[in-house]
Chains A and B, each alone.
Chain A
Amino acid sequence: MTQIQQINRLAGGARVDSDGVINFTYNGRPMQGVSGDTLASALLANGVDVVGRSFKYGRARGIVGHGAEEPNAIMQIGSGASSVPNLKATQVELYEGLESAPVNGWPSVDFDLMSIAGFFSRLMPPGFYYKTFMYPAKLWMTYEHFIRRAAGLGRSPVGDDPDSYDKLNQHADVLVIGAGPAGLMAAREAARAGARVMIVDEQSEFGGSLLASTQTIENRSASAWVDLMVAELKTFANLQMLPRSTAFGYYDHNFIGILERRSDHLSLSAATGSRQRLHRVRAKRVVLATGAFERPLVFAHNDIPGVMQASSVSTYVNRYGVAPGSRMVLFTCNDSAYQTALDWHGAGRTVVAIVDSRAEPNGAMLAAVEALGMEVMLGCAVIEAQGGKRVKRALVAPINAQGTEVVGSVQRIACDLIACSGGWSPAIHLSSHTGAKPQWDEAIVGFKPGTSTQQECSAGACAGTYRLSECFAEGAQAGAQAAHKSGFGSGVGLFPQPPVEEHDEYPQQALFLVPHTQRSTRAPSQFVDMQLDVTAGSIEIAVREGFESIEHIKRYTALGFGTDQGKLGNINGMAILAKALGQSMAETGTTIFRPAYTPTTFGAIAGRDIGELFDPQRHTAMHRWHLARGAEFEDVGQWKRPWYYPRSRASGGVESLREAVDRECLAVRNSVGILDASTLGKIDIQGPDTAEFITRMYTNSYLKLAPGKCRYGVMLKEDGMIFDDGVCACLGDNHYLMYTTTGGAAGVLAWLELWQQTEWPDMQVYFTSVTDHWSTATISGPNARRVLAKVCDDIDLDRQAFGFMDWRDGTVAGVAARVFRISFTGELSYEINVPAHYGRHLWEALIAAGEAFDITPYGTESMHVLRAEKGFIIVGQDTDGSMTPADMNMDWVVAKNKTFSFIGKRSLQRSDALRDQRKQFVGLKPLNPNDVLPEGAQVVFDPQQPIPMSMQGHVTSSYYSANLGHAFALAVIKGGINRMGQVVHCPLADGRILAAEIVSSVFYDPEGARQHVE
């Protein structure tokens, strides 16, 4: 394939390095650009006119702008897993080997079926989506098929993203957003005052509009002045400069999200470190210096490639050394765009005509172009562009002074470029994020930032100040003030104002919709929003259909909905709406800009919190032993707990869950098992009021609990519903240790602190989490005492001396330990606690000591089965936040006569808590001993009743029990405690109906003899 030459490249003078050739491809075609190019400037240099097809009508579209405002040149960059969709070519820096392709354009960019006869424009009127959704519904699928294909909004990569991303939390006294003239001055003043300053800019280099300016500052070219200024800023140690960084969102409390592109400008293979970095900045003061966007002019077929923003033409010429065409018509309603004619002329190209909508402009700019002999057509407008894939001619006609009607004959002027300027719109997006309501200003013909609710101010063009000298002054003042308000400097600028060469401008004309010889709804399409194909006519139709609010119009027509957020089209759209409604711009207002200013990758938002770092995994001290034993793990909160320990089967293969659990459960009941119980929450509580305090928290009393003793308790929320349970031990005078459930630990500690700090601050009690301090090994089973005796000789283990619900300090396996004789299995059990650095030592010593008894490690599944056999509840499984102690058949744990109340007591007396037919905790014994009822299954009394059935309760826990020899379940059933012996039914989704008998929730050893074995 032949290399396309850079036919539009100019020789020298710009900020690109014309010797630094860079190879890239566009749509598979090899091309060359130069170092310093964006993809857009390189495409223009190569004479590429069409870079996409429009969203709705499939019209050929070319590059219009040079930055974040670009609506058309939306590209897919790279290929494979690293491919990135929907980047603006104007913001993609060229690198060697870059692969690019337009995202819009089906079946191809250069030949598009959809553009034929504007077929789709009749198919998709404004409000198309709403009308289609409303009727006829069945056609939607057909439409959608076309729309999806037509829209072609890029392709998401299919593979995992190979890039890494990260986030930095930044703090600044002064954050300056935008490094154009105002931003540079603000940063310098604030840094000089001593404040911690950050200055960010979305472009690859600082300077903003100055990079393409031909003005003289301090007797230097603007470009050279920027270089000096940047060098000066680099000398401040308290100033952080972030180029290629977009402030995409301004949130409450001066929190700003900034996306830094760190390696997007490097070839994919050269990338190191993170591709993008999200800076989460908290700033005391913010200076917004985000500049302004040139406003397009809305005329017929203003979307043909070759119609560009005047300032963008200047930027391509001055900054990138690219002249995108040869014969230009400049169409303007203001003075600033005259510079483009001078720039174009300076590039050695032809200015065919300057079409100025104003009848009698006057001033230095007009004189300058006339001195060069350019033809200026005053009081005229380009009312239509003509051409297919490139502009061929402009239709120019005189218009009236109001700019509302064509008043003379139409001239056809041959050209290949129409540079347009409709004035400027301040980039008020970030200000708008803060909730500030933009204010219409007739003097600048634009919205200015509204009164802010945040600690920020706007300076320069984004505040509607366009003269360079005034931007400098305003920026310097804003920087000095921001520093002062954050505690640095006097608030007065310290640097002299840089002298600037500039002249007065003649007032602009407000021209939002260029008249045509036909009215808007009849004229060739006059595009307002290029990205979403919104035309002036469609806004007028929306008004005819009854829409009045700009917010409704936006949603009805999709004005400003694209990835460019209507940066170019919005103001014109609002003005067209205002005119159609016969009201002022101030009355019409604007839509609210919301984050993100430009699209932001999910990768950057996720940062490093992905994969195994997505959520912390908490490990006990015994974790590696469990791993070595091949345990399967269960997530319990953030903990990894052993679920079961599958062994190899004698017959080959590995045990299933059921096989392992059956073996583990039998081992506990028949000999001894060992469980890692380190994850239980543990709170050390000290202070003179401790006993009273915890007596208020639990339903039962701890006032008479003696040192060396433990008690089981249940905690309620104020509504009387169970929210946690556990054992509490009295360690000494005014000293207790509270156990919580594994998942409830943090919540219980917060609950205790809440009540102490807000309700009873006079109670003297301190809470300290010791969950991590202790490792806990629980040995359970008839041989538990014999195992413990082998590794402990300083505690009297006699069953009377060390009774059930006692605890003792002693030495276990040579380590100082605290041993609790409590049981969650119903068997004789000891919970042995040691400081966690010795956790694994303790565990291995117990395993060794238990060898003679075939001590069996068991996991959470067996623990669940064993406790369920005893009818012990698990808060959060058998309860769901709507269960009182009475519902759980646990009235015995509620002390009715405490001196002080306890939390939730009063709620237990509510009529709803006392009513009949509350769901009550019972056991279920399936009639078929092998039917394990699904947990969550609904319980009905009459399986023959019609659907919807009357649901009477549900299964909360259900297992097969090797010890019982049958399946069993725990359930909550309406009035269940008085229904013992009745048969209930669980209809399942697969059509089966399982029958079970209501029985006691205690299936095993109801008299509790086993925890007292010799």
Chain B
Amino acid sequence: MSNNISMETPLMHAYGNFSHHEYSAGGEIAFGELLFDLVVKEMPLCSHLNIRGDAGDDAFCAGILQVLGIALPTQPGHYHTSRTHSLYWLGPDDWLLVSRADSIDLQAQLRAALSGHLSIVDVAGGQTIINLRGSAVALNTLLKKSSLYDFGGWGTAVEGGGRCVQTTFAKASAVVANRPDGSYELVVRRTFADYIARWLLDAGSEFGCRIEGELGA
């Protein structure tokens, strides 16, 4: 048996790809220094757990707080975050936990702390996180091109939490969240990753768009 276990992140085949609009200077098409107003970066893989449960159950909320150290977000469209965990509200009884902690340990701790009707499902293999950074104009335009959702009222995220939404993204879906540094994070599904990469390059071409990632993460 091979000890050499290789891993493919959903977006890695797009690393290094870029789109850049051709701009005219004196009637010539000039490629000067390539400027990218939009950078798409696949973040290192981590644990993803889908959690279902009853937000009205105090014990459930207390158990989440005890294990994660962050409160269960119960306000629609909000997420809470710490250095280790981010917990996104997806629906009234539906959350996404993204964590740097080991998935098996985390599941065991959650199972131990929680009781009653709930569901904890490892979905890490099926999704990846993309960070979108760039000028505010480029980011806003890209989001308006990609989604029907109104991101206009979000304001800025702060340390500890911000806004999120699970919505349509081009012809796929994504969880979109804002970050304190003005960037956005997308949680996208693995099998749509090639499509999403193509979409981002195409839709972002007017600003210049590049895809980055960390190989061997």
Contact = CB atoms under 8 A, between A and B. Distances in A.
B5 A171 contact: no
Interface string A274-287: 10000010100000
Interface in A29-66: none
B6 A764 contact: no
Contact of A772 (B13, B120, B190): B190
A615 B119 contact: no
A616 B24 CA distance: 32
A619 B125 contact: no
A841 B198 contact: no
Interface in B158-217: 170-172, 189-195, 198-199, 202-203, 206
Contacts of B100: none
Contacts of B172: 616
B112 interface: no
Interface string B2-31: 110111111001000000011110010000
A814 interface: yes
A171 B150 contact: yes
Given A196-B152, A613-B198, A619-B194, A813 B5 contact: yes
B17 to A, nearest CB: 14
A260 to B, nearest CB: 13
Contacts of A839: 8, 125
A274 B195 contact: no
A616 B171 contact: yes
B31 to A, nearest CB: 14
Contacts of B93: 766
A841 B191 contact: no
Contacts of B123: 768, 770, 772-773
A420 B148 CA distance: 47
B117 A688 contact: yes
Interface string A147-176: 000000000000000000011111100000
Interface in B116-165: 117-127, 141, 144-145, 147-150, 152
A220 interface: no
Contact of A835 (B52, B125, B145, B198): B125
Nearest to A610: B202
B194 to A, nearest CB: 5
Contact of B195 (A196, A270, A617, A684): A617
A616 B144 contact: no
B33 to A, nearest CB: 17
Given A773-B123, A774-B125, A837-B8, A615 B117 contact: no
A687 interface: yes
A813 B2 contact: yes
A775 B150 CA distance: 35
Interface string A566-600: 00000000000000000000000000000000000
B2 A814 contact: yes
Contacts of A609: 170-171
B5 A770 contact: no
A166 B203 contact: yes
Contact of A841 (B6, B24, B52, B141): B6
A752 interface: no
A616 B144 CA distance: 19
B1 A793 contact: yes
Nearest to A617: B195
Contacts of A196: 152
Contacts, number: 144
B107 interface: no
B152 A171 contact: yes
Given A169-B148, A171-B150, A814-B1, A608 B203 contact: yes
A612 B190 CA distance: 18
Contacts of A688: 117
Contact of A764 (B8, B23, B117, B126): B117
A366 interface: no
Interface in A828-872: 834-841, 845, 848
Q: How large is the interface on A (under 10, 10 to 19, 20 to 34, 35 or more residues)?
A: 35 or more
B214 to A, nearest CB: 14
Contact of A836 (B24, B190, B202): B190
A772 B2 contact: no
Given A167-B145, A773-B126, A768 B121 contact: yes
Interface in A407-459: none
B110 interface: no
Nearest to B120: A686
* Residue among A167, A686, A768, A769 having the largest count of chain B Cβ atoms under 10 Å: A768
B45 interface: yes
B7 A608 contact: no
A171 B148 CA distance: 9
A567 B67 CA distance: 68
Given A686-B119, A768-B119, A815 B145 contact: no
A801 B148 CA distance: 53
A684 B119 contact: yes
B50 interface: yes
* Residue among A273, A686, A687, A773 having the largest count of chain B Cβ atoms under 10 Å: A773
Interface string A181-210: 000000000000000100000000000000
A309 interface: no
A615 B199 CA distance: 11
* Residue among B3, B52, B126, B145 having the largest count of chain A Cβ atoms under 10 Å: B126
Given A274-B206, A687-B119, A814-B2, A612 B198 contact: yes
A544 interface: no
A169 B192 CA distance: 22
A282 B16 CA distance: 36
A621 B8 contact: yes
A616 B23 CA distance: 29
Given A791-B1, A814-B1, A166 B145 contact: yes
Interface string A782-816: 00000000110100000000000000000001110
Contacts of B171: 609, 613, 615-616
Interface in A500-525: none
A837 B13 CA distance: 13
A662 B147 CA distance: 46
Interface string A632-646: 000000010000000
B145 A773 contact: no
Contacts of B13: 624
A615 B191 CA distance: 13
B124 to A, nearest CB: 6
B125 A608 contact: no
Contacts of A769: 126
A389 interface: no
A608 B22 CA distance: 17
A956 B189 CA distance: 34
A768 B50 contact: yes
Nearest to B8: A840
B1 A272 contact: no
A18 interface: no
A655 to B, nearest CB: 27
Given A608-B145, A772-B125, A840 B192 contact: no
A838 B5 contact: yes
B9 A837 contact: yes
Contacts of B150: 171, 282
Contacts of A169: 144-145, 147-149
13 contacts: A168-B145, A169-B149, A171-B150, A613-B195, A616-B192, A624-B13, A764-B117, A766-B119, A773-B126, A835-B122, A837-B9, A838-B125, A839-B125
Interface of B: 1-3, 5-10, 13, 21-24, 27, 45, 50, 52, 93, 117-127, 141, 144-145, 147-150, 152, 170-172, 189-195, 198-199, 202-203, 206
Given A617-B195, A813-B2, A837-B7, 11 more contacts: A169-B149, A615-B171, A616-B192, A618-B192, A686-B118, A772-B126, A814-B2, A834-B125, A835-B122, A835-B125, A841-B6
Closest 10 CB pairs of A and B: A772-B126, A835-B125, A773-B126, A766-B119, A686-B119, A836-B125, A171-B150, A616-B195, A766-B52, A773-B125
